[in-house]
């Protein structure tokens, strides 16, 4: 069970990257989004259910991994970046020829908000256990998604 918890919590091992493990976790999220939405043409309702699933499993595994690793929000835990990246990319319009732009902008916006942590994201980090690990990334994903919606639906329709 320990190996399963760490595999999930570290975003399939992305958390062991020697530098910027959160960026690698976010890249995994973009890659999974790409496979599901762009290549697999999964509907947005199905993607949103998957996002809820990743979030729930992320909260569970991050909470357990914290105990195993001995530190709150250990940098090796990157499932929170995967979940946050899914939120950042959810329901963005993926028009032909624009998917790469959407993926890149969603990635950059999420990383910006994940590092910056504007209110109330930083406060969410103080929540206990896995919820505190994941909640700030969900908020960063929401900020990124709102900016992405503005970008793709209003400024560059």
67-107: pLDDT as tens digits: 999 999 999 999 999 999 999 999 998 888 889 999 999 99
| Global confidence as pTM | 0.96
CA angle, 132 as apex, 85 and 112 as ends, to 5°?
Answer: 35
Question: Phi/psi class of residue 127: alpha, beta or left (left: φ > 0; alpha: ψ in -120 to 50)?
Answer: beta
Percentage, residues of the chain above pLDDT 90:
88
Burial 69-96 (b: 16+ CB within 10 A, else e): beeebbebbbbbbbbbbbbbbbebebee
The mean per-residue pLDDT over the stretch 128-146 comes to: 98
Q: What is the pLDDT of residue 60?
A: 98
Q: What is the pLDDT of residue 97?
A: 85
All structural domains of the chain with their residue ranges: 2-9+18-155
User: What is the DSSP code string of 109-133?
Assistant: HHHHHHHH-TTTHHHHTTSSHHHHH
- Burial (Cβ within 10 Å: 0-12, 13-18, ≥19) of residue 43: exposed
């Amino acid at each position: 069970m320990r190996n399963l918890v760490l595999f999930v919590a570290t975003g399939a091992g992305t958390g062991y990257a020697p530098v910027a493990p959160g960026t690698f976790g976010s890249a995994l999220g973009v890659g999974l989004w790409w496979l599901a939405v762009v290549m697999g043409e999964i509907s947005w309702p199905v993607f949103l259910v998957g996002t809820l699933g990743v979030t729930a499993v992320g909260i569970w595994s991050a909470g357990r991994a914290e105990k195993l690793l001995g530190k709150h929000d250990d940098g090796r835990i990157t499932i929170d970046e995967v979940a946050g990246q899914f939120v950042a990319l959810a329901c963005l319009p993926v028009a032909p020829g624009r998917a790469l732009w959407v993926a890149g902008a969603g990635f950059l916006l999420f990383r910006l908000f994940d590092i910056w942590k504007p209110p109330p994201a930083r406060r969410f980090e103080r929540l206990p256990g896995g919820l505190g690990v994941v909640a700030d990334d969900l908020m960063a994903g929401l900020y990124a998604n709102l900016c992405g919606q503005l970008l793709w639906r209003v400024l560059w329709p």
